Amino acid sequence: MVFVQEQHRENIRWTKTGGVGVGLLEMGNKGAVGLRLGYAVPDSDDTVELTFVAAHLAPMEEGLQRRNEDWKNIVRRLVFAPATMKGTSKNAKSQPAGEESETLLFKGSASDDQSPHGLYTPTSHLIVAGDLNYRTSNTKPSPGADAFLFPKLNTGSQDNGNFYALLHHDQLSCERKADRTCHGLAESPIHFPPTYKWSKKAQIMAEKEDNMTTWDWAKHRWPSWCDRILYLDLPGWMKVEMPRLAIEVDKYGALPLMPTSDHQPVLLTMKIPLKPIPAPEALGGGDDVRLNPPFDIDPQWREKRQSARRKEIAVGILAYLVLTWEGRSIVLALIIGTLLGWSVVQVLLV
């Protein structure tokens, strides 16, 4: 979800959305969703393009290649098309504040470019966040032999836990350097402990304590920085044209553990220049990933998305009928009704 402060809502001129499943049968148990929007710069005719993507990749220590393949499929099939959102700035204002039906991001005026675009596009900033699931080992830990290597909170040291040795084995950092995933994306230095996998005990303590006094990890998973936020830096042609502009990261860190999750949420605060990224034609784009994505868009992305959606609906209906009391009641009523109907027919035929 993308939230916009009330005073900036009128500056959202247009939105485009996209989604792709990369999990079982290409359904949405794993995958990515994205929102691309045009932000009108106040007191200017400029519009800054911003793209936000939330992703969830394949799990497990041994799932490294699957994660890289998931990223490839996201690049190929996460395509942004104009959003068909209901509501306009006029009717959005007429709704009471706080109502669930209130349109938070209205459609606004349409983008001049109505053609679909992929994850990378020449004139947009890009922020990718989520449970990317990259681990610090390719194999599961041995609970008895490896647990002593897990980072420990040292309250008497500013180092707070000697987790940097483990960070050296971070799969995402290694794969990015090898240009096998998250191509072209930058990440601010990590100075916070692993965000996964916290034990049940840690989750219980998180509800009772404001600050952790110990780090209690699940013994069957290597502590890892699964939850990440990455971004695209300004393109080279923009730096040449406007050398004083830069993206400034204020903070990259972890929020307190929530008692309802074994993941610790992360945050990134940054400043992006309120200046649109110019088209590169006249300036020369070089090898920037915006112009040379690592993978081409799948020409069948729309058909695959529609097919996956049909599967998701079918699985959802089946799960409702099998896993919920309401669904089971419907199935039972249908069975009883069928048997009674069959009995009536048999009586009438005798």
* Mean pLDDT for the stretch of residues 212-223: 89
pLDDT band at 26 (very low <50, low <70, confident <90, very high): confident
pLDDT at 155 over 90: no
The model's pLDDT over 289-328, given as tens digits with 9 standing for 90+, comes to 999 999 999 999 889 888 888 888 888 899 999 999 999 9
pLDDT at 200 over 50: yes
**332 phi and psi, to 5 degrees?**
-60, -40
pLDDT for the residue 103:
46
Window from 18-27, 35-44, 223-232 with minimum mean pLDDT: 18-27
pLDDT for the residue 156:
46
C-alpha closest to that of 34 among 96, 127, 107: 127
Mean pLDDT in the chain?
86
pLDDT at 10 over 80: yes
Q: Which ranges of the chain does DSSP label H, i.e. alpha helix?
A: 64-77, 89-94, 164-167, 171-177, 200-208, 236-241, 301-323, 325-349
pLDDT band at 262 (very low <50, low <70, confident <90, very high): very high
pLDDT for the residue 161:
53
> What sign for the dihedral angle of Cα 102, 105, 108, 113?
negative
- Rounded Cα distance, 289 and 183, in Å: 7
Question: CA 337 → CA 322, 331, 345, 347, distances in Å?
Answer: 18, 10, 12, 15
Query: Which residues is 82 bridged to in the sheet?
Result: 16
Give percent of the chain with pLDDT exceeding 70.
Answer: 86
- Rounded Cα distance, 136 and 159, in Å: 19
Stronger pLDDT, 346 or 265, i.e. the higher one: 265
Q: At what angle do helices 64-77 and 301-323 cross, to 10 degrees?
A: 120
Window from 95-99, 182-186, 217-221 with minimum mean pLDDT: 95-99
The model's pLDDT over 79-125, given as tens digits with 9 standing for 90+, comes to 998 755 433 344 444 444 444 444 455 444 445 566 678 999 999 99
- Rounded Cα distance, 206 and 99, in Å: 31
- Rounded Cα distance, 271 and 250, in Å: 7
